[in-house]
Amino acid sequence: MWTPPSADHASLGAAHGSVALPPAGPSAGARLRRFMAFAGPGYLVATGYMDPGNWATALAGGSRFGAALLFVAVLSSLMAIVLQALSARLAFATGRDLAQVCRDALPKLFAMLFWLIMEAAIVATDLAEVIGTAIGLELLLGIPMGVGVLLTAFDAFLVLAFMRFGFRKLEAFVVSLLILIAACFAVELVLSRPDIGEAARGLIPTRALFTDQQMLYIALGILGATVMPHNLYLHSGAVLTRAVGTSLEERRGAIRFAVLDSSIALMFALLVNASILLLAAAAFHAHGHIEVAELQDAYNLIAPLLGSALAAKLFAVALIACGLNSTLTATLAGQIVMEGFVRLRLNPVARRLLTRSIAIVPAIIVIYLGGESSTNNLLIASQVMLSLALPFAVTPLVILTASRKWMGELKAPWLTSAAAYAIAAAIIALNLKLIFDAATGAG
């Protein structure tokens, strides 16, 4: 149940409760102003749903099967909306983030295990960002991938700058890059002229999903890569930057606004992911290119197939923007996880340099030994690592938010908890299958 956090243990330190809220009121204007003050954390979370791993699965699905897997992208986003809503609910019900509550709820040995697994997940996320950003720099500016990987280490200074300007400035920067990404894909969709009828049919589940092994495998990949484990921890800490009162009604209202914020942001992320899939369907599948899965291949094919060099450049710009956005959110997630589980605080830049260095080493080794073409395998490996870590975020979140002991009057409604348990079971089962397939070479 809710307990006021001490200044030493508040989630995200000085950023905790730093965003002032306008007074609540019955008028539509007052509600809108209050919602706008809550808007932001959901968009931080949305960046995790547009990382290079998601790009790879969407490109593979769209190029091979057209728009047939659009339904899977929609379903996976709806699952994510439910889980992120529970993350915000936990934060306002307890006054702490998910890592802090896990530290208190779990035996010490288990808490340490969860912490180590989540740190590995954040490194895996960082690895995908390193590769994606380096590919984007190579495609747009011709910078060799090995050099691009090393250049990504300097994003630590970007983190430092925004930490000094304040949390709202950081959120504004993330939203600006999300708008840039969406604009890039909007232009590409116009250039590719997707089949609207095919897109509409893609919203309906197809029987082939259960008879075509390759389609099922890619569908599992889309589902498995959607919910990022660190995002559940990130959201629970980011919403606590709002200066919400301690009364039950104030916290209940905060939950409503935070859930609305994250739901809108994740629908925005869905539009971007759906755009990637539809772009692949229109640009590649429709022209007989059904084996496009690597980001470099997609870039090289877009211009000749769409008849515009602009489309390829926008693809690279969007990829770099995704990398920059993920840089900021992964740093915040790492801070929340480390401080919450072990109460160890590091300077954000030092923390960023540490995790980025760990991610850079395997990327450089793979590029040196296997060449740039081998980076796609490393990208897939990072998604498998995230799959392994997923149960250690989803399971405690679903169990804790269903508990009156930890949530008090703000425990999740039984119907929401039932849906969350079903979603958690499905996601874990699908991710376990992906891990099994990756280990055995199936699919």
Task: For the chain, list residues with pLDDT below 50.
Answer: none
Tell me the helix, strand and coil percentages in the chain, rounded to 5: 80, 0, 20
- Whole-model pTM? 0.88
Residues 6+ apart with CB under 8 A from 381: none
What's the pLDDT tens digit per position in 297-349? 788 888 787 777 888 888 889 888 888 887 778 878 888 888 889 877 766 66
Residues 243, 207: Cα–Cα separation, whole Å: 49
Which pLDDT belongs to residue 133?
84
Q: What is the pLDDT of residue 407?
A: 93
E strands along 40-154, which residues? none
CB 420 within 8 A of CB 82: yes
Which residues are CB-neighbours of 331 under 8 A, at least 6 positions away?
159, 348, 351, 352, 355
Q: With residue 434 as reference, give the H or E element that holds it.
A: helix 414-440
